[in-house]
Structure formats: structure tokens, C-alpha cells
Amino acid sequence: MTAPGRRSSTFTRLLRHGFTDASAAERLLDSPELAPVRNDPVLLEALGATADPDLALDGLVRLLEAQPSPTARRELLDTVIAAKPLRDRLLGVLGASVALGEHLARHAGDWHALVTYEPHDLHPGVAEFERGLAEACDPVALRVAYRRCLLSIAARDVCGTTGVAETAAELADLATATLRAALRIAAAEAPEDAARCRLAVIAMGKCGGHELNYVSDVDVIFVGESPEEGGADETEALRAATRLASRMMRVCSETTVEGSIWPVDANLRPEGRNGPLVRTLSSHVAYYQRWAKTWEFQALLKARPVAGDERLGAEYAAALSPLVWQAAERENFVADVQKMRRRVIENIPVGEVERELKLGPGGLRDVEFAVQLLQLVHGRADASLRSGTTLDALQALAAGGYVGRADAGRLDEAYRFLRFMEHRIQLYRLRRTHLLPEDDAGLRRLGRSLGLRADPVADLTREWKRHTGVVRRLHEKIFYRPLLDAVAQLAPGEVRLSTEAARERLVALGYADPAAALRHLEALASGVTRKAAIQRTLLPVLLGWFADSADPDAGLLNFRKVSDALGKTPWYLRLLRDEGAAAENLARVLSAGRLAPDLLMRAPEAVALLGDGGGDGGGLGPRGRAQLEQEILAAVGRAQSAEQGVTAARGVRRRELFRTAAADIVASYGTEAQPAETDPGPLVDRVGAAVSDLTAATLAGTLRAVVREGWGDTLPTRFAVIGMGRFGGHELGYGSDADVLFVHEPREGADEREAADAANRVVAEMRRLLQIPSADPPLLIDAGLRPEGKSGPLVRTLKAYEAYYRRWSLVWESQALLRAEPVAGDEELGRRFTELIDPLRHPRGGLGEDAVREIRRLKARMESERLPRGADPKLHTKLGPGGLSDVEWTVQLLQLRHGAELAGLRTTRTRQALAAARAADLVSEEDAVVLDEAWVLATRVRNAVMLVRGRAGDTFPTEPRELAAVGRYLGYGPGHVGDMLDAYRRTARRARGVVETLFYGT
């Protein structure tokens, strides 16, 4: 009987070595079979190093029991103790696979297979496996020989001698040798059938891709022909080939006491299980040319002849391979592949989704589908991508620049980890499964097999979740990349262009200077650098996007400038290749006119805004006033001087102007992922609000910088900036000045003269700093709407404004104050200014008839005197009939007449006031729609002119290319400029009719 102290010590030692059932382990160690070595520490250490020490010990005892003699048993024990390589292989297999342990117990001499592979010969190929199967002359013997070979593969795998990719390749080689042996046995059973046909076996799926699992269906396709010599007709030959193929499948698939090898699945053949098992080569070709679905070409990517007639197999590969690399040209190809992947996920049972290694989100299929889609799209022109092995293809995609190297590295690591898990799960019972174990014992064994020994279950779960998370994120990024669909839609010859072909395509796409465009292409894409490789992928698609504009030459030139500036920046080309619609967005922006490219060239890093992640502030979505002001004030606070602070504020303004312009262009043009917006009203509102908020934030930052440098934190007078005109109405365009009033109020105890001097110095310095020539566009401050106009003082006190408006204010000034709104400076002072002017702009009782006549007289005078000489009134967006002035004065007259009574009219915004007038039945719905459409269209034309020409204008350009670019922005395609002008005249004419009635009363 074992002493209690010794027993306790043994238990502790066993638990420390990873045994979970110390009592059972102790009994096994005390068994007669292990008596000679029970106290040898080498054995316990070796058992503790396995995935499941309990299973390994039990398997070893059973193997010893199965030895035919004491001598054989002693030989095994001596080898286990003295030969470390064998010990590690044998115990590693016994601790990882109950199925292979049972095989060894049935075939006690097969453990010798573990010592046949010396270090110099660790990676057997098909020929060596064929030698191992050569003596198998019936199905049972073939199964035993197969397991013996499998034993050697598993031993190298569990000991880490081979990596997961090498193990998968060896399994595929063993499958190839087994298919050949099975075909040999089938031919021996029916030699007459073998003589009547030629039969080629084409491996598909993981076997074809040289990346097979331990237990998997082996997918095949059969090709049959008549013998080259002999006389069998085609029908007879196909019947014989079908019988031969069926026998071969049965040899592999039948289950006996030795189990089965694996099912041979021929359902990937044309027409699936409904089609004939064997077809002639010509029948295969005809099917794929006429009837095959997209997924069938994806499956053919891994097709590889492995058994039977070698010449026929080679002919099959040569005939079908070109069809695979034409599949991406099929209509909706990319969408079909994406839809198929989604359908696979949807069909997973709900209870298994979280445990599914292969098909679930973040699983092996996500990697494989992403890689295959990239291969099929880009492999048409790049033969280096045409590998059936996932990891080899992934490496080639990274080398060619189609996938980022870091992304490829993460996918490679995750794929190897997931395949490792899959291998070890299947190895345990040699059953086909891709589900993570549910029990702790299975998870513990799996974790330990991966080298996770501290807390195998928790560590395994964490690593698995980490890798699936990486795969899912990168799958979404790569698999649903808009650029893929665009590349797939290119004609075959457009993917890689020769010089002459490129010239012809440039002419066909509408490039006015193909020679210059070719020089740009050569500069961007020549060479063997990774940058050039990625450019070669991007450019064929970008050329088409540039061509979908009025000036493709400018788009390409601008792209070269941006690429020259950012080409050495690692994120730039990666952004265009990987990040959503960034490439198409950039193409739209660079070819839509001068303003956005000019803003971008001054700080090319702003291209990051075009991606989904948005770098530097959230993509193209508008930023609010508070967020902009916070950033600008922070930049001013860090500056050493007022000039540096305002320079920083102007830099933010330039970047945000680019963001707004880019968002406007993309929404107006539309992209393949997002169609153009059909309602222009929200577009105009977004631009007006964004530019107005940005102007207000810039003025706030400039004011802070000037005050801080000249007076510290406290100015001797309160100071506020009041937005006027379009600024106060939140309706600024890209080229608008900032119309403002300046108001101040001396602080208690301050000298009034000193306060006034300080306020004037602030205004002068603000205007100077915002107009200093620099890379950033100037912000012009216009105070012309102040009392007494240009003759009056720039800054007044609140009391001075009150005195002026009480004694001298004219009706036009009340009208101008309708859009007055505080935008910067002292908020309380701004509020009091608003309270001061409210009675003027919303007069109680409305306007008298004299005031109405005066407004009408001023409007008529402005129409006759201020319209530029030579301008076509019908196309002048501001002063022409039905233009901005017509609509705004009509709405403002309604506000002056009824604003005191109707709260909805007390707004600085034209469209909101018009909507309120409609709601109050001051304007009919039909007339309101006419006025709104005219105002929105005129505003869009002004914005378009600024975007296209890079300078403000109130009428349509006369230069044909510029006019076409304005038309493209407004949604008119090539050749429809006349339709655009007719539409504008028609809209303005209808609006003028409403104005004649509502404003002039005629």
C-alpha cells in the first residue's frame, strides 16, 4: 500500500505536470506495462509536455498492452526513454488524438513509422506517400496504410517540426497519393473499364489548393475520354469512366472496422449532383462557357489535376484556366461573390455561429473569400496572383501592392492560427468538424496544444476572439472595397495598358491632351517600387472617374501633383486602395474645378478626409460651430504671437473649406457607392451653414489672438462682431466676404476714448491679419452695411447705434438688419444689440405704404444701376430677373410687414422665412416652391462657379470647359450645357413672375 505522504507528493507532481485525473494517472503509472520506467522522470516530463497528459498516458499503456511480446514491449519502452525525437512524436500524437491512439492499439507495430523520417527528410512528397501506399491492394489495406502515413504527418505537426501550411500541404499530397492508389485498386477490380477510357481526376477545394485539413471531403471533378488507341466510342468510354470513378470514390469513402479515409465529393462538377459524374473535356468547356455561375469559376481557381491520365488532366487545366481569369468580367461579378459570402453566414445554425471556425464571421472563409475575390479581379492582368493556395496568394497580393503589407501580415497570422485550431480539433477524433469544443476539457486540450499552459481555456478564448476580430475587420475592409468593383468592370485590355493602348483609351475617354496624360501615367506608374505597383492598380479606374467630368486632363494632372507631394507618405496610397470610396472621392474632387484642388495642394495631407475613417476630424461630414471654434481657439492659445495664431486659424479654415467643398462635389457628382443627391436644397443649406460656421469660428479665433497680444486677456471695452447679409443668414458661399458690424461698450471705469481706440485697433488688426498673403485663402471683412456706410465709423458703441437708429435710420437699414446675428465676441453684448434692433427689423404694425414704396424704388434702382455692363440679365444669379436679390427682397418685405406678428418670420435665413410665410398663407404653396427653387438654383450656380474657376462670379462662365464643369456639378452630362442654361432661364422667369406679384404688386 502506498504511504499517504508519498501518495500526496505524487498527486501534486502529477497535477503540476498537467494531469487532471491524478488518481487514474497514478494507477496507470503503477501498471505492469510501465513498471520498468515508472520512476523515470523523463517519462513524466514528456507526458506533461503533451496537449492532454491523461490521454497520452492512457494511449501509451494501451499501446504497450498491444505489443505482441515482452521483447517488443521492452523495445518500445527503451526507445521511448532513450530516443527523444521518437518520444516527443509518439507521446505528442497520443496526447492529441484519441483516434490515432486507437489505430496504434490495433496496429501495434505502426509506431515504427514515427522513426522512419530523419531530420534531413522531414517533408515527404506525393512520391514518398505513394511508396507508403504501394502495397495496399484492397480498400481495407489502403485505409490502414493511409492511417500509417497520417500518423507520421501528425507526429511532425504536434511536435512543431512542420508549420500549419506545411502540414496542410502534406495532407494534400497524401490525399493525392491516396486518390491514385484508390484509382489503381478500382482499375484492378475492373480492368476492362480501365482499358475502355481515359480518366483524369481534378482535385478541387482545399485538396486542389494544397491546403487540406486532417478530415475533409476531398472535392474532385472527373474528365473522361475515349482511349487514344482502341476503338471504344465516346458513349461507351464515358460509361466505363463513370463506373471506374464510382469504384474509386467507394474505395475511399466506405466505412469498415478501420473507419473510412474520407468522402470523395464530386458535387462541384457542372450541374452539381444533377449532372453526369464524368464528362468529356469538350463538354466541360461548353458548360463553363455558356452556363456556369460565378461561384463555379471561383471554385475552379483551385482546380489541379492529381490522378489518372496526366495528359488529359493537363489539357483540362489548359482549357479551363483562361475562363477562370475572365470571370471577373461577368456582370455583377463582385456583387455576386459578396452575396454568396453573406448567404453562407446566414445559413449557419444560430447556436453554432459563435463556435464556427470556418464559416462564421471572422472565420477561415472570410480570409479565403477576400483573397479569392482579389485574385479573380486583379489576376486577369497579373499572373503572379494565380495560386490556388490561400497563403501563397495572400503573399503575392501583398507583394503586388493589392493588399497592404501590414494587413496581409495580420491576415496571414490569423489564418494560420485558425487553421491550427481547426487541425487540432479534427485530429482529436479524426472527424470532420469546424466547431470549437463546448466542454472545458476539449478547450483545455486545444489551448495546451497551442502552447497555452498558464490558463489554457481563458487564453485560447482571448486569442481566438482577437484573431477573428482582426479577420472580420480586414475582411470588411478588403472584401467590400468599392475599388474592386470598379476594377472588375474594366475591359480586359484596360487593366494593364500598353503605351499605344493607353493613348487610344485616353482619346476615347475624352482627354484633350493624351500626350501629356501619358507622361503623367509614366511618371506615376513606372518602375518596380511598391508605390508604382499600387498606382498601376489605381490608375486604370481613376482614368475613368476623371473622364466622368468636364476636365479629365486637370483631374489627372492634379492627381499627379498630390501623389508627388504625398507619394512617400505611407498612408496615402494605402488610403486610396483600402479605405472605402476614398479613391473615387479624390477623383471627383480633383477633376471638378480649381477651388478644391488648390485648397488641397496647399496642404495635401487633407486628402485623408476623403476616406471612411476621416483622419483629422471625421471624414466629409460637416463639423459644428462649437467644435470648430474649440479647435481654432486651442490653436490660437498655443501660438506665440497674434500673427502665428491667426495663421493657425486660417490653416484650419483652409482645411475645412476643402472638407466642405469635397463633400459638396461628391454629393453633387455621386459615386458608385452613393448616388448623387437629387434634392439640391439640403446641399445648399449644408454648404451655407458650414462656411458660415467656419467664418464665425475664424473671426472668434482672430479676435482672441489680437486681444491677447495687445491687451492680455481683458480689453478695456466689451466687443462683439455682428454677422450681416449672407453671413448672418448662415448662407455664405465659397467666395463670400464676411459682412459684419462691430459694436463695443466701454467697461466700467474705462476711459471712453481709450476704449474706442482699442476697439478700432482690434478691427484694424483683425482685417490685416486675415488678409496677409499666404498659402491660405484670405478672409475679407466688409463693414459696408454699418450706419452711414463707408463714411461712418467702423466701430460704434451700443449707445451710438441706439442713437443713430432712433434718429437717422432709413428703411433699407431696417431691411439689412433682418439678417443681423451675433457671431463672435462678447455674447451678452451681442444679445443686447439684437434686442436693440428687433423693433426696427420687426416693426410693430408692419411697414407703412411710404416705406413699401421706398423699398420697391430702391430695388428697381439697384436693378437698373448695379447690373454689370455687358452681362446677360437673364443669366445673372444675383441681380438678374428671378435671381437671389429678387427672392430675398420679396421674402424680406414679408418679414418687415408681418414679422412682429408672426414668430416664424423672425429668422435670418431666407428659406426658413419663406417656409414660415407659406405656413402663414402669406404666399401660396406653388409660389413658395417657385421662389425656393430659384433661390436654391442661383445659389448652387454661384457655388459651382467658385468651385470651377477658383474665383467668385455671379453669372455662368463663358469658357466652354468651365461652363461644362458647372453643368456637371449641377447634374448635366456632356453635351447638355444648353439644357442647363434653358432650365436656369425657365426657373428664373417663373420666379420673376411671382416677384412681380408679391413684391411689386403688379
Mean pLDDT (whole number) for 48-64 = 94
**Backbone dihedral angles phi then psi of residue 823, each to the nearest 5 degrees:** -125, -20
Q: What would the pLDDT profile of 622-632 be if each residue is shown by its tens digit?
A: 889 999 999 99
Question: How confident is the model at residue 30, as a pLDDT?
Answer: 86
CA distance 95 to 51: 5
Q: What would the pLDDT profile of 904-959 be if each residue is shown by its tens digit?
A: 999 999 999 999 999 999 999 999 999 999 999 999 999 999 999 999 999 999 99
Spatial CB neighbours of 442, under 8 Å, sequence gap ≥ 6: 428
Question: How confident is the model at residue 500, as a pLDDT?
Answer: 66
Question: How confident is the model at residue 348, as a pLDDT?
Answer: 82
Mean pLDDT (whole number) for 355-373 = 89
Quickly list DSSP for 199-233.
Answer: EEEEE-HHHHTT---SS--EEEEEEEE--SSS---
Range of lowest pLDDT (54-68, 110-124, 204-218, 308-322): 110-124
Mean pLDDT (whole number) for 825-844 = 95
Helix then strand count (H, E) for the chain reads 45, 10
Mean pLDDT (whole number) for 356-368 = 89
Spatial CB neighbours of 731, under 8 Å, sequence gap ≥ 6: 688, 692, 909, 910, 939
Q: What would the pLDDT profile of 660-698 be if each residue is shown by its tens digit?
A: 999 999 999 887 667 778 889 999 999 999 999 999 999
618 grid coordinates: 471625421
Binned at pLDDT 50, 70 and 90, residue 1 comes out as very low
The 10 Å Cβ neighbour count of residue 545 is: 23
- Cα 821–Cα 827–Cα 832 angle in degrees, nearest 5: 70
The 10 Å Cβ neighbour count of residue 828 is: 12
CA distance 210 to 380: 22
Binned at pLDDT 50, 70 and 90, residue 615 comes out as very low
**Backbone dihedral angles phi then psi of residue 46, each to the nearest 5 degrees:** -65, -40
Question: How confident is the model at residue 649, as a pLDDT?
Answer: 96
Binned at pLDDT 50, 70 and 90, residue 992 comes out as very high
Question: How confident is the model at residue 290, as a pLDDT?
Answer: 92
Question: How confident is the model at residue 614, as a pLDDT?
Answer: 44
Task: Inform me whether the pLDDT recorded for 360 exceeds 90.
Answer: no
Question: How confident is the model at residue 399, as a pLDDT?
Answer: 86
Q: What would the pLDDT profile of 473-531 be if each residue is shown by its tens digit?
A: 887 777 655 555 555 555 555 555 556 666 766 776 778 888 888 888 888 877 767 77
Bridge pairing between strands 717-723 and 738-746: antiparallel
Q: What would the pLDDT profile of 879-909 be if each residue is shown by its tens digit?
A: 999 999 999 999 999 999 999 999 999 999 9
Task: Inform me whether the pLDDT recorded for 546 exceeds 50.
Answer: yes
Spatial CB neighbours of 132, under 8 Å, sequence gap ≥ 6: 145, 148, 149, 177
Q: What would the pLDDT profile of 690-724 be if each residue is shown by its tens digit?
A: 999 999 999 999 999 999 999 987 899 999 999 99
CA distance 158 to 504: 59
Task: Inform me whether the pLDDT recorded for 814 exceeds 80.
Answer: yes
Mean pLDDT (whole number) for 82-100 = 92
Spatial CB neighbours of 215, under 8 Å, sequence gap ≥ 6: 262, 426, 430, 431, 432, 433
Task: Inform me whether the pLDDT recorded for 744 exceeds 90.
Answer: yes
272 CB-contact burial (10 Å; exposed 0-12 / middle 13-18 / buried 19+): exposed
Strand partners, 740: 723
* Sign of the C-alpha dihedral computed for residues 53, 58, 63 and 64 taken in this order: positive
CA distance 889 to 286: 73
Asked if 511 contacts 700 with a C-beta cutoff of 8 angstroms, the reply is no
Spatial CB neighbours of 729, under 8 Å, sequence gap ≥ 6: 688, 692, 819, 821, 908, 909, 910
The overall average pLDDT reported for the chain is 89
Asked if 818 contacts 841 with a C-beta cutoff of 8 angstroms, the reply is yes
Task: Inform me whether the pLDDT recorded for 969 exceeds 50.
Answer: yes
In the chain, % of residues over pLDDT 70: 94
Binned at pLDDT 50, 70 and 90, residue 541 comes out as confident
